[in-house]
Chain A
Amino acid sequence: MLARESSTTLISAVTAFIYKEARLQDEHQYEAWEALWTDDGVYWVPANGADIDPEKEMSIIYDNRSRISLRIKQLLTGKRHTQTPQSRLRRIVSNIEVLDDEQSGGDIAVASNSLVFESSLRDDTIWAARNEYRLRYVDGELRMAYKKVTLVNNEKALFTLSFLI
């Protein structure tokens, strides 16, 4: 258990990190968002519930670090048609909690809820999700080693989700 003061410091740092990530996503700052990842990052958006085994079943996104990079490179071509023009986005992130601050490897387990409003050529769409992170200090800065986005409606047929969730 952390002392009250250091716990407050940690939640402030984590909250600032998560708000920054949300802003970079909303504003399509792809390279700056990619720079938030550690070298072993895993970006996971499961389908059909929260507890599937991504090594056996299909996920909407299950990117290792090199595929995160590929996804960003594709967006940066300007010819990712589903994001040309880009979705207009604003998201609210809330319920930020540090769940475990002493995981092995020094990772910090964090969770939040998010509600994303997307306006695209097709229509306006609302996305809601539980986000689970493992954050890590690298050279004094927080980085993401793991982000799992469990969409509330991930058991249903979903419209295209081509912005950064």
Chain B
Amino acid sequence: MNVMPRPSQWDDLIRPDRVHGSLYKDPAIFEAELQNIWYRTWVYVGHESEVPNANDYVIKSIGPQSIIMTRDEQGKVNLLLNRCSHRGNQVCSYDKGNARSFTCPFHSWTFANDGRLVGYAFPDGYEGADKTKLGLGRVTRVQSYRGFVFGSFAAEGATLEEHLGGAKETIDRLVRTSPEGEVEVTAGFLKHRVKANWKFVLENECDGYHPAFVHSSIFNVADSAIGTLYGGKSTAVTRDYGNGHTEIDLRPEFRKRDQPLSWFGTTAERLPDYTSQMTAAYGEKQAREIMIDGTPHVMIFPNLFIAEIQMFVIQPLAVDDSVQHVTALQFKGAPDMNRRLRQQTMGSVGPAGLLLADDSEMYERCHRGVLARNPEWIFLARGERRESTDADGFKVGHVTDEIPSRGIWRHYRSLMEAR
């Protein structure tokens, strides 16, 4: 298939318990995803802590597009398109820095870090031109939640908080695990490229069925208690928050263990500074509860994956080319905790990660697999007959059930069908 499906044809591609393999491999569908998902809905771009000072900037992305996230002199965060409004040249060639303005090297057009065109070479040739209409392109709407900056190219639509919906609480849960109530993104990113469609990455993040098999090699040799979380007898649950957001909620298992910091494979005694900071911030009882529950494992559609100790940002470059940007989460003012967060993250993720290199192998093998024509379907029915509803009205199932994939595809279809 090389032509975009008509709305009625989505019935042929997305069913409640299965999706068609062409959704992962058809270049026309990928182009439509850019228009209907990446350039329309709320997409995570960066974190405010990456541009802490006035005039800081960092290069980010929305899909294949390069975005300059700046903090201007007034302290406002801007998402600017890295494209000169004159001839399209990229105006910024460095990953990060501090600059009041960006001068295009092609014809010396200069833009302030809030996007305004402030000057061009030999201005007498531009008599009558309106500089105010020649600024850098910008992401139409920019909103942040707890420091996480999202952008949307749609002028109208749901607010960021409406989009986050029930998943908003997972971000609250994350920042609460920091003694100062803030996370920081200051450890730099690993960029792990896979020759696979981005949705294989998206769906794997809350797939609780695979760890026992894909990661058995590390569970067998590391003294890890992760394996039991994803076993057949686990009480952890998968959850569908709607709007494509999905979660693996491991708290039922951590609460059974009833040990602070067990979620992080350590103890309060081994992180004494963090533990005392938490107790000072929240009081003994609440600090203990927070340190038992730990941080969330949540996939914010379409590209922000908070994986307990690290965060991934999924970037689609082409139908079969994707990048996972990943960094350790850092808790403001908690150095002993942060060191462990970095060490554990570096061991697990990125191109050589003891976990993620095997996940990425699966993404690439799946991508090659769906090139086969029979069967053409991906079967996503696991746990369909044992779904239930939690106290907040969200669908939940066993930790190994495919509730997250079904939720992602339901939302995906609503976006792709929209005109």
Which residues of A does B touch, CB under 8 Å? Answer: 45, 47-48, 52, 55-63, 67, 70-71, 73-74, 77-82, 121-123, 155-162, 165
Given A47-B350, A48-B188, A61-B352, also A79-B323 (CB < 8 A): no
Of the A-B pairs whose beta carbons lie under 8 Å apart in the complex, a sample of 25, sorted by A's number, is A45-B352, A47-B189, A47-B350, A48-B189, A56-B186, A57-B187, A58-B189, A58-B327, A60-B350, A60-B351, A67-B347, A70-B222, A70-B347, A77-B221, A80-B217, A80-B358, A81-B214, A81-B217, A81-B361, A81-B362, A121-B364, A155-B95, A157-B193, A162-B351, A165-B352
User: Count the B residues whose beta carbon is within 8 Å of the partner chain — how many?
Assistant: 39
**Distance between A4 CB and nearest chain B CB, rounded to angstroms:** 41
Pairs A-B, 9 closest by C-beta atoms: A157-B191, A157-B193, A79-B217, A73-B221, A57-B188, A82-B361, A161-B351, A77-B217, A157-B323
With a cutoff of 8 Å between Cβ atoms, the chain A residues found around residue B352 in the complex are 45, 60-61, 160-162, 165
Who on chain A is nearest to B323 by CB? Answer: A157
Given A47-B350, A58-B327, A77-B217, also A82-B360 (CB < 8 A): yes
In the assembly, what is the distance between CA of A82 and CA of B345, in Å? 19
B287 at the interface (CB under 8 A from A): no
Given A58-B346, A74-B354, also A121-B365 (CB < 8 A): yes
Given A122-B195, A123-B195, also A58-B358 (CB < 8 A): no
**Distance between B179 CB and nearest chain A CB, rounded to angstroms:** 19
With a cutoff of 8 Å between Cβ atoms, the chain A residues found around residue B4 in the complex are none
A71 touches B217 (CB 8 A): no
| Among B346, B351, B358, residue most surrounded by chain A Cβ atoms (within 10 Å) | B351
B350 touches A58 (CB 8 A): yes
B23 at the interface (CB under 8 A from A): no
B328 at the interface (CB under 8 A from A): yes
**Distance between B356 CB and nearest chain A CB, rounded to angstroms:** 8
**Distance between B236 CB and nearest chain A CB, rounded to angstroms:** 23
With a cutoff of 8 Å between Cβ atoms, the chain A residues found around residue B188 in the complex are 47-48, 52, 57-58
